[in-house]
Structure 1
């Protein structure tokens, strides 16, 4: 079984090598501060080598028999099966994920690999009629060429693979830049999986660096034609602007402030379970997490009582303990920002009915009631185990509260009347919403993405195929065409 923590280098042109910068980067366990790995950052030259390599090898990869391409994905899946425990261990160590979270993330990755393995056989085209006599129009689906992928720290294995695997499956080369705190889980571990599966060397490249080394060049470089970014709204807006100036397509999956609504006819026990899962999975460090619980006044007291009781039972602490539900936030900066928001919520008049302690990077759950829609804790993305509960008296008020946000990624509605829930869902300004379920859902064949400050574009299934391919029109004039002049 491989020790993935040894993959503390760059992967460029099919070779494991140190970055060219004198800047040394450190990767630490967010729970105990243990140094996991050190590595030299990549430079502009390393970045150029990576893009040049991906561009060169992609042209041959696009011509490879689709069955042979599919076989590589099958081998990647098998490699993950063989190294399951090693994958779990590095997710726990590098990002502070619990074992439950690690199993969940690995399952998502496997589904994405399986879906992407079908892409080589889905690169079909069309023959279309023409108003010109004896003309045949052929429309081909072709790879965009090279895709640049930037992934975040929260679900790095999955959120990297969510773009990497479909892009490869559609015939592209890829350069992946993982978050500097998750360079292994979000980067080199993926390179190792595909290397072991027999992916052509140089097709997939992984660079780990900091913005001070490369600036906007990851996006501005002339080779990549599409950029896939998952991360904060602030950074995503900048990347979108840079991509636009350079006429590159940008796929942006950004922040969220998801609402979970509980109607008066809901199954309260189910709603409580869904709301707890939707907030506290991976310490709330998920863009789809429910930040706001909007509860009808007829069931508000019952819901709050059961919810607070359930949250109070969640085990916090060491992510290596299989009983732990809430582990550490990724770093002290995230902890400090969370503490500041908690204090601001109290100052603005919210009531913490559950208020845990802060122990190192572990923030124990905080549940706020008496929250109004314009409070900071109801408007800002809470990337932590902190939740706001708001009371409403009508469906109209639910919609007003839910839509009072700059974000629009996910959401959920709990009701005994599915069609009533569906009608409300249609009126919520969000890219995804789930009836009688949690806000955290991602399926490999269903469109994923948000509106407003939650991003641009859709991924998964046919939508990923569209994102990482373009169409080419080739016409054939079978008989001599008569032109108006010669």
Structure 2
């Protein structure tokens, strides 16, 4: 039986139950432009209503036993596994994911739910040293209501990696998914938890635009904001959260470097570049945005990569032979085309690709890019490999660290000690020796340095820090007899 049917959400959004919206919009399949449905489009007043309702529901949720809360997530795992094929198809149609990427994303989602199921029974604090006869406790308690603003590119996972641990640790959640992927990053999650038995009013899913996001940030019933998206928008959200003294987690953009050292295997290097650059058409914050190749093997690696790129099939990802699917919309495709043209005008050489066709952009390889070229610094969010030679480890480190971002880096080498020596000088939050830059295993603390975030992390051991707050409690058999 289908879990995701238009009858459920047509003209509606989710407030613990499916609620008819005053304003709606039509969602379309990325590759074809065909209508996928008409969804509720949240306004600021909808955000305010949901935030107040979520705050009321949260106290009763936290009062449940840890076994009751854990059971909801165990149910959610089973429901997601049972409807895996259906969710994959929505990811392909709504976000333009190829089947391989969509399947991987659903597996990440299932693992995130499994991780969340363990949180209610995890340690809730610690006993601190104190004077004899006095019990001193450091307790983790929920924040209250967590606002989550999620993006379109890995829509299911980047939403559920925040929603699931926030709920599991006793919070309520108001989720504002990107309206372009309202099902994958919103309604699918709502349905999973609805069927799993999550109490009504704890999870609200409200697709909307910038005004809805601003209302979420400004609402006094929201205790925390977890945002994944561009650095530009992240700065605005950070400033807004500061005005209301909210806790805020910003997981932002990246211009990630993949370093191919002089001792790297040519074929392995080309494979890692192709995956790190072109997976999901480059629409990933961890995409390998700068490919730094030692000059002694530069031509060999470049030529092998070009051979691979010429074999890629571009098209509708419903065709499982397709390697490169669409960008999220035609506007983004035109943006990428302009970035490539500007790079060529600044001296880059177009080796292959470079042409936009509607929502599709040919996989592209650029060489002869120096630090003065604007594309050296820009986050492209498209299928473009920027190849840059280097002469020494010191130069590679300098090129990798240049710029404001500090999210991810990868090093390909046949000598692990060589890779480790280079790695210790790279200023990034995610660092991989003998792998490319696109990696997430759900249990790792995810986040970046500099303009890639605000120093917070999400995932694994970081989730308790992100979605709870400390309370200090002392207990004594009798109140002290103070001198006045």
Give the shorter-chain TM-score range. over 0.9
Gaps of 5+ in 1: none
Alignment of structure 1 residues 448-463 onto 2, 5 Å: 448-456=446-454, 457-463=456-462
Change (3 A) 1:390 1:5: farther
2:329 maps to which residue? 331
Residue 43 (structure 2) pairs with residue 37 (structure 1): no
Unmatched segments (≥5 aa) in structure 2: none
Conservation of the 8 A alpha-carbon contact between 2:412 and 2:436: no
Q: How far apart, in 2, do the equivalents of 1:162 and 1:385 lie?
A: 25
| Secondary structure in 2 matching 1:105 | helix
Partner of 2:188: 189
State the shift of 1:479 in Å: 3.9
Asked if 2 retains the 8 angstrom alpha-carbon contact of 1:55 and 1:146, the reply is: yes
Deviations 1:113-162 (A, max 9, x none): 1111111011422221225x532211111111110000011111010001
Change (3 A) 1:48 1:480: closer
Quote the residue 1:46 is aligned against: 46
In structure 2, the CA distance between the partners of 1:215 and 1:79, relative to structure 1 (3 Å rule), is closer
- The one-character-per-residue Cα deviations of 1:387-429 (angstroms, maximum 9, x if unpaired) are 1000100000001110112111111011122122122222111
| Mapped partners of 2:388, 2:329: distance in 1 | 29
Structure 1 position 8, deviation (Å):
4.1
Any idea what SS the aligned residue of 2:297 has?
helix
Aligned residues of 2:334 and 2:356 also touching (Cα < 8 A): no
Hey, what's the Cα distance between the residues in 2 that align with 1:363 and 1:480? 72
- The equivalent position to 2:383 in structure 1, one of 371, 382, 385, is 385
- Aligned residue number for residue 234 of structure 2: 236
CA RMSD of aligned residues (A): 1.4
Provide the rounded CA distance (Å) in 1 between the counterparts of 2:325 and 2:134.
64
Over residues 165-189 of structure 1, what are the superposed CA-to-partner deviations in whole Å (9 max), with x where a residue is unaligned? 0101111100000001111111111
CA contact (8 A) 1:136 1:478 kept: no
- Give the C-alpha shift of residue 18 in structure 1: 2.1
Q: How does 1:154-165 map to 2 (within 5 A)?
A: 154-165=153-164
1:266 matched to 2:264? The reply is: yes
- CA 194–40 in structure 1, closer or farther in 2 if over 3 Å, else same: closer
Instruction: Report matched runs for 1:101-180 at 5 Å.
Output: 101-131=101-131, 134-180=133-179
Structure 1 residues 31 and 3, CA gap change in structure 2 (3 angstroms): farther
Is residue 100 of structure 2 the alignment partner of residue 64 of structure 1?
no
Partner of 1:76: 76
- Who is 2:273 aligned against? 275
Q: Match of 2:95?
A: 95
Structure-2 separation of matches of 1:375 and 1:282: 25
Q: How far apart are residue 95 of structure 1 and its match?
A: 1.1
Instruction: Tell me whether 371-380 or 383-392 shows the greater mean CA deviation.
Output: 371-380
State the partner residue of 1:300. 298
Task: Name the CA shift for 1:451/1:434 in 2 (closer, same or farther; >3 Å).
Answer: same
Give me the TM-score of the superposition, normalised by structure 1.
0.96
Is this contact kept in 1: 2:3–2:191, CA < 8 A? no
The alpha carbon displacement at 1:344 in A equals 0.4
Q: Give the deviation of 1:211 after TM superposition.
A: 2.3
Query: Cα gap change, 1:41/1:223 in structure 2, threshold over 3 Å: closer, same or farther?
Result: same
Distance 1:62 1:295 in 2: 52
> C-alpha displacement at 1:358, in angstroms?
2.2
Question: How far apart in 2 are the matches of 1:224 and 1:366?
Answer: 43
Query: How far did residue 104 of structure 1 move?
Result: 1.3
Tell me: CA distance 1:426–1:37, structure 2 relative to 1, closer, same or farther (3 Å). Answer: same
Q: Is the 8 A contact 2:259 2:293 kept in 1?
A: yes
How far apart are the structure 2 equivalents of 1:9 and 1:422?
54
Decide which of 202, 223, 226 is 1:225's aligned counterpart. 223
Deviations 1:213-256 (A, max 9, x none): x4622111011111000001000011011111111111011111
Q: How far 1:63 sits from its partner (Å)?
A: 1.6
Paired residue secondary structure (1:117): helix
Tell me the residue number matched to 2:364: 366
* Secondary structure in structure 2 of the residue aligned to 1:104: helix
Among 22, 25, 28, the alignment partner of 1:20 is 22
Q: How many equivalent residue pairs?
A: 481
Native 8 Å contact 1:5 1:90 kept in 2: no
Residues 27-77 of structure 1 show CA distances to partners (whole Å, capped at 9, x for unaligned) of 111111111112342222221221122111111111211122112111111
Change (3 A) 1:356 1:350: closer
Which digits, 9 at most, give the CA deviation of each residue in 1:189-231, with x for residues without a partner?
100011011111111110112224x462211101111100000
Shift of 1:317: 0.4
**Alignment partners' CA distance in 1, 2:445 and 2:39:** 37
Q: Name the structure 1 match of 2:210.
A: 211
CA contact (8 A) 1:272 1:303 kept: yes
Question: For the residues of structure 1 that align with 2:20 and 2:285, how far apart are their CA atoms?
Answer: 32
Contact 1:18/1:39 (8 A) holds in 2: no
Shift of 1:352: 1.1
Determine the C-alpha separation between the residues in 1 that align with 2:5 and 2:381.
26
